[in-house]
Amino acid sequence: MAEAEETGFSLMSLEDELTCSICLSTFDCPVTIPCGHNFCQECLLATWKDSYSCPQCRTLFATRPELKKNTVLSTVVETFRVRSGKSDGAAAATASAAASKPEKKKKKDAIRCDTCMEAVAAQTCLTCMASFCEEHLRPHRENPTFRLHQLTNPVEDLMERICSDHYKLMEHFCSQHQRPICTLCLQHAHRGCSFTSPEEQRSKKEADLREKLVFLDGKLSKNETVISQMRSMQNKLKESAIHRKSAVAAGYQQMRDMLTREEGEAMKAIDKEVETGEVKIRGLVTKFSENVNNISKAKEDIHCLLAQSQTLAFLQTSFNLPQAVSFDPYTPRISLDSKKVVQSEAFALTLKNYLTELLKHPVEARIPKLIAETTKTPSMTTEKSPGNKKLGKSMENLLEFGVKDIPMGHPATADTKEKAETSDIPSEIGPFEKRTELLKYGTVLTFDQRTAHKRIQLSDNFTKASVSDEHASYPDCPERFAVCSQVLTSKGFSAGRHYWEVRLSSNNFIGVGLTYSSIDRKGPTSRLGRNDKSWCVEWFNVKLSAWHNSSETVLVNPNPKRVGVLLDCEEGRATFYNVADRAYPFHSFNFQCAEAVYPAFWIFSSGSFITLCKLQ
């Protein structure tokens, strides 16, 4: 018992050593820092704001030390609390001290009364520039003298609201200089400036920030939508690549199958020739072997006669040579040089050489090369064979319509092939025309400035028409197009055949056509093809359409750089060509030449132009 009392006494004597120097209470979760001093963990962390130093010895640490609980000290503190709390009163005091510790810390952040410096402030007087507790706020509530004073909730940064020039409350906000000011500032330095209250300025700023939030939300949503669309496009691109690979692989596999069949047929032809030769050789060998046997037997008979000793018997014996001696043996001329075998071998070699040369060209140049080869007239004949003509037409259709009419990622089916061989070109027009034949009807054209819309600029001796956003200073006249950016040529036609060519800067928002001179120039129906007096082929984005009387026919787009037009006034037909090495027709209009027909053009995109070509 005496030992227990002595131990308790010794612990009680260590009370000062077990007290945190920050909160002046016994340690709560004590930690030790590198300098050796101990503190409550929460108390120490509360003192570490911008730098890390010991609150007791002021030792400064470059970085924040790692804190670990001092378990030995925690055990001593716990024992001290148990020993010192034997009586209920002591326990209550200890509990009260423990409960008041966080409250004490909490009060550190509270705004104090400027009069008593103890109690928590209830309100702040912006007139007195001081904070008061409930007790010292009574004069403001009860004395009429303070009735006009402005009371508000406790303000922590009260000194920051004082004007540094006049030591007055900054109760206004200068909108021009974007800073808070006091009443004297408003009368002197900021005289004439527009001002509001800080609360109004805060409301405006909050509204502005909320608008920016809405704007940012919209931008964010658009970006996320675009990202989602691009990811979807990426998936579709991968799927399309898979289908395209399958289509290409199927095409090459079909070619391999065809070549394999051709190879098999060639091998069978050679085997058949070999078999025929072997049968012939076997027959001759059998016949010659019989002859050898007959001749050998005849030799034996002769030897027997010669061996006859009796002369009379020898003379009476007759002998005739066998019929085999009259047949002279020969080596037959048997080889594998039959026409079919030789042609098969030559075809394989020729096809190999042709493919070798063809594959040296870029992919985009191979189809025109095939067309040029398959549509050539043989040098020894005057006209094409039906097979060559059909192949040439098929190859040209392949070039004209190409893979654009085949759904992306799917091999061509019978339907798509049938569609590719069908066009709106009249049956009497061939798959192509020699350009030299068309040049027989060539005519020289220039643009008519009187008809040019003011957006259209004419240059190069009126052979180039370009469009811009700036209007030219053309004089007003009845012939000028006022609504649509269009222009006519100065020459029209009512009889004969006439051919001209134009070069396009792009295949986008450009139209090439024909019109009667009586077309409307001012109204909304003055657009080419949107009335019964004009016809045109028009590129709108990537779509090519034929227009007449507001009726549209969508065409396959050959993307020409040079367009030729053949006008036959007697037959009432205008044919449009994609001009390259040859002229390939892609559309034809039929109409009545009731009056003179003028070449007409529509140009919309700024920077685009059309040039009337010199025919050579």
Note down the domain range covering 35. Answer: 2-108
CATH assignment at residue 486: 2.60.120.920
Please provide the DSSP assignment of 236-251 as one string: HHHHHHHHHHHHHHHH
Q: Which residues contact residue 385 at a Cβ distance below 8 angstroms, ignoring those fewer than 6 apart?
A: 378
User: pLDDT at position 161, please?
Assistant: 75
**Is 494 in the same domain as 583?**
yes
3-state secondary structure of 51: coil
3-state secondary structure of 356: helix
User: pLDDT at position 48, please?
Assistant: 85
Q: In sequence order, what are the beta bridge partners of 61?
A: 52
**Is 241 in the same domain as 377?**
no
Provide the H-helix boundaries in 421-481: 435-438
Total domain count for the chain?
5
**Is 464 in the same domain as 377?**
no
d(Cα 598, Cα 488) in Å, to the nearest integer?
7
**Is 536 in the same domain as 413?**
no
User: pLDDT at position 238, please?
Assistant: 93
Domain membership flag for residue 189 = no
Q: What is the pLDDT of residues 285-337, one digit of tens each?
A: 998 898 899 889 889 988 888 888 888 888 888 888 888 777 778 787 777 77
* Sites in the chain below the pLDDT cut of 70: 1-13, 85-109, 159, 167, 374-432
User: pLDDT at position 566, please?
Assistant: 95
Domain membership flag for residue 188 = no
Query: Which structure tokens are listed for 489?
Result: 């040529």
Give me the count of residues in the chain. Answer: 616
User: pLDDT at position 413, please?
Assistant: 38
| Dihedral angle of Cα 160, 165, 166, 170, to the nearest 10 degrees | -40
Rg of the chain, C-alpha, whole Å: 55
d(Cα 612, Cα 614) in Å, to the nearest integer?
7
**Is 295 in the same domain as 322?**
yes
**Is 449 in the same domain as 413?**
no
Q: What is the pLDDT of residues 49-84, one digit of tens each?
A: 778 889 888 888 888 888 877 777 877 887 787 777
pTM of the predicted model over 0.75 = no
Going from the C-alpha of 345 to that of each of 259, 272, 320, 333, 359, the distances in angstroms are 13, 15, 53, 21, 21
Contact 392, 384 (CB under 8 A): yes
